[in-house]
Amino acid sequence: MGTITSLLDIAQQALIADQEALNVTSNNVANQNTAGYTREVVNFQSVDAVTLSGSTFGSGVTASATSQRDRVLEQQVQQQTQIQAQSGALESALQQIQNIFGLSSTTNSASSTALGTATNSFFSSLSALASNPSDAATRQSVLAAANTLAGAFNSAANQLAQVSSSLNQQVASDVGQVNSLTTTIATLNAQITSLSPNADAGTLEDQRQLAITQLSQLVGLDQISTENNGITLTTNGGAVLVSGSQSFAVSTAQVAGTTHILAGVDGQDVTSNLTGGDLGGVLQARDQQLPTYQNALDSLAYGIGTQVNQQNALGVDASGNPGAVLFSLPPTQSGAAAQIQVATTNPNAVAAAALREGSAGNANATALADLSSANVAGGQTASGFLASFLGQIGSDISAATTNNSAQQATLTQLTTQRDSLSGVSLDEEASNLTQYQRAYQAAAQVFNIANSVIASALNLGVETTVT
Amino acid sequence: MTIAQELADILDETVQALSNLDSAKLDALEQRIVVLAESNQKYESDIGLALPKKRELEIVLQNCQANLDALTRLHARNMRNQWAQ
C-alpha cells in the first residue's frame, strides 16, 4: 500500500506539474503578440504506477509542454508567401510603368495619353502644312510637334530605363536581406541540432520558422528536412542557400547593365531560373515585361521616324533642295525611343512639295500627313499600335492586380488556418489559467491533508501542528 | 444599388469570407446570391466591374482546391509515416 510520504510526493509532483502548466499558460499570454510564436500546450503524463503485494498504486504526474505546430501547414504558408510576394512585386513594378504612360482606371483612350496626344498633334501639324505649305509659322509648328513627339518617346524610354534601374537596386537590396536571413537560419539550425535533435525545439524553431517565412517573402524556396531537426534550403532552381549550420551567400554581378544573381556552392548565375518572392516578381518585371514594353516603344518610334524620313526624302524642301531626314535615329530599332531626335532646327527643311512640283507645292506634305493612316509598326497605324501597346500594359496591370489580390486572399486563408492552430487564444488561455489554478489549489489541499495526517500519526492521534 | 454593384460586392465579400474561413458569412452570401438570382434582373452594364472580381474568386477557389489537396496528401503521408514508426 502507499505510504503517507508517497502521498506527499504525489502532492508535490502535482504542485510542480500545475505550476509548469501555469508557466506555460503565462508564457503563451506573454507572447500573444510575438511574431512567429507558436503556442504551447501542456501534456500531463501520469508517472508509472507501482505494484506492491498485488496492489497497484499511482505515483504522481509530470507535465511537459509541446508547441502546437503543423509543419505541413507551415510549408503551405511559406509556399503561398512566395507566390504572393512575387505577384505583389510584379504588380508594384507594373504600376510604375502604368504611371509612365499616364494610364489609370479612368484613362481608357490611348489618344489622351502624352504619347497619343504628341503623335496626333504631329500628324495634325503635317495636315496643316499641306493646307498652307508656304507659311513659316505652320512649318515651325511641324518642327515643334516633331520635337514634342521625340521628347515624349525620349521621356517614356528614359522613365522605363529608370524603372529598370530601380528594379536592379531592388535586386541588390533583396540579396543583402537574403544573406542576412540565411546566416540567421544556419545559426538557428546549429542551435536546434545541438539542443533538440529529436523533438520540437520550441522558441528556437519559432525563430527559424519566422526567418524562413521572411526569406520566402524575398525568394522562392524549397525546404528539405534533414536529420537532427535540421533544414536545408535551396532556391526553387536548386541552388543551396542553407545546409545545416552552413549558409551560402548569394551575390550579384553586373552583366550588360543588369544585376544578375549568383548563388549556390559554386556561385552559378541563377537569374533566369529564380522565381517566387520579391526577387521573382522583380526579375519577372525587369527581364520579361519591361523589355517587351521597351521593344514596343522602340518599334513605334523607329517606325514613325523611318517612314517620315523616307517620305520627306521623296519631296523638296522650301529651299528647293531634296528633303533630308527629319528625325535622327539609331541604325536599328533597338534604343530608337530613347535616341530619336529632330534632326534639324530649320523649318524650311520639311519637304512639303513633291518633285517637279516646285518648292511651294504641298503633295509631299499631304503624303506625310497620310502616314497617320499608314502601317508604320507591327502592321498597324501609329495610333492603332499605340492603342494596342497601351491596352496590353493596362491588361497586364489589371491581371497582375487581380492575381495579387487573389494570392493575398489565399495567404490570409492559410495564415488563418495556421493561427487557429498555433496562435494564442486569450479566451482559451484564460480558461486554462482557471483550470490549472484550481488544480494547484487542490494539490496544495492534498499537501495540507497529508501534513495533517502526518501530524496525527506523530502525535498518536492527538491533532497538533507539526512545526 | 445596381445589380452590377451588388454582384461585385457579393464577390468581394465572398473572397474575404473564404480568406477568413468564415462559413457563417458564406452561408449568408449564398442566400444573398439566391435572392439576387430570383429577382430576374438583367445584368446590362458595368460588366467590367464584376469580371476582375470573378477572376479573383476563381483564382482563390483554385488555390483553395490545390491547398486542400496538398494538405490532405501531406497529412496522409505524415500519418502513414507515424504509423510506420
Stretch A339-359: mean pLDDT: 90
Residue A405: closest CA among chain B residues belongs to which residue?
B56
pLDDT tops 60 at residue A466? no
Confidence of residue B82 (pLDDT cuts 50, 70, 90): confident
Instruction: Find the mean pLDDT for residues A69-81.
Output: 87
If you average pLDDT over each of A111-115, A212-216, A357-361, which comes out highest?
Answer: A212-216
**What's the whole-number mean pLDDT along residues A163-188?**
96
Mean of per-residue pLDDT scores for chain B: 84
The pLDDT assigned to B21 comes to: 85
A32-41, A99-108, A169-178, A342-351: range with lowest mean pLDDT? A99-108
pLDDT computed for residue B44 by the predictor = 65
Number of domains forming the structure of chain B: 1
Question: For A212-228, how does the pLDDT look when each residue is reduced to its tens digit (9 = 90+)?
Answer: 999 999 999 999 888 88
Higher per-residue pLDDT: A306 or A111: A306
Of A230, A150, A213, A187, nearest in space to A419 by CA: A213
- CB within 8 Å: A409 and B21: no
Mutation site, A412, A417, A420, A421, interface B, largest B CB count within 10 A: A412
Note whether B60 contacts A402, CB cutoff 8 Å: no
Q: What's the rounded mean pLDDT across residues A294-311? A: 96
Of A57-61, A105-109, A150-154, the one with minimum mean pLDDT is: A105-109
Percent above pLDDT 90 for chain A: 63
CA distance A76 to chain B (A): 7
- Give A266-290 pLDDT, tens digit per residue: 888 999 989 999 999 999 999 999 9
Q: Is the pLDDT of residue A355 over 90?
A: no
Whether A141 has a pLDDT exceeding 80, the answer reads yes
Q: Which residues of A touch B56 (CB under 8 A)?
A: 402, 405-406, 409
Query: pLDDT at position B29, please?
Result: 94
Q: What is the pLDDT of residue A364?
A: 93
- Per mean pLDDT, which of A47-51, A61-65, A158-162 is the most reliable? A158-162
Mean pLDDT of A53-70: 83
Per-residue HEC secondary structure of chain A comes to: CCCHHHHHHHHHHHHHHHHHHHHHHHHHHHCCCCCCCCCEEEEEEECCCEEECCEEECCCEEEEEEECCCHHHHHHHHHHHHHHHHHHHHHHHHHHHHHHCCCECCECCHHHCHHHHHHHHHHHHHHHHHHCCCCHHHHHHHHHHHHHHHHHHHHHHHHHHHHHHHHHHHHHHHHHHHHHHHHHHHHHHHHHHHHCCCCCCCHHHHHHHHHHHHHHCCCCEEEEEEHHHEEEEEECCCCEEEECCEECCCEEEEECCEEEEEECCCCEECHHHCCCHHHHHHHHHHHHHHHHHHHHHHHHHHHHHHHHHHHHHCEECCCCCECCCCEECCCCCCCHHHHCEECCCCHHHCCCEECCCCCCCCHHHHHHHHHHHCCCECCECHHHHHHHHHHHHHHHHHHHHHHHHHHHHHHHHHHHHHHHHHCCCHHHHHHHHHHHHHHHHHHHHHHHHHHHHHHHHHCCCCCCCCC
Confidence of residue A160 (pLDDT cuts 50, 70, 90): very high
Better-scored residue on pLDDT, B60 or A104: B60
- Give the pLDDT mean for A39-45: 90
- State chain A's mean pLDDT as an integer: 90
Residues of chain A with C-beta less than 8 angstroms from the C-beta of B21:
413, 416-417, 420
Q: Each residue of B15-25: pLDDT tens digit?
A: 999 988 888 99
* Domain residue limits, chain A: 4-68+423-458, 76-413
Q: What is the ipTM of this complex?
A: 0.76
pLDDT confidence band for B83 (50 / 70 / 90): confident
Q: Is B5 helix (H, G, I), strand (E, B) or coil?
A: helix
Q: What is the reported pLDDT for A108?
A: 60
Tell me if B19 and A412 make a contact (CB, 8 A cut-off): yes
Are the CB atoms for A163 and A97 separated by under 8 Å?
Answer: yes
Output the pLDDT for position A336.
96
What cell was used for A407?
494570392
Mean pLDDT for A27-45 is 89
- Mean of pLDDT values over A233-239: 91
Contact A413 B20 (CB under 8 A): yes
Min Cα separation A408/chain B (Å)? 9
pLDDT single digits (tens) A419-444: 888 888 898 899 999 999 999 999 89
State the nearest Cα–Cα gap between A418 and chain B, in angstroms: 11
pLDDT, greater one: A410 or A54: A410
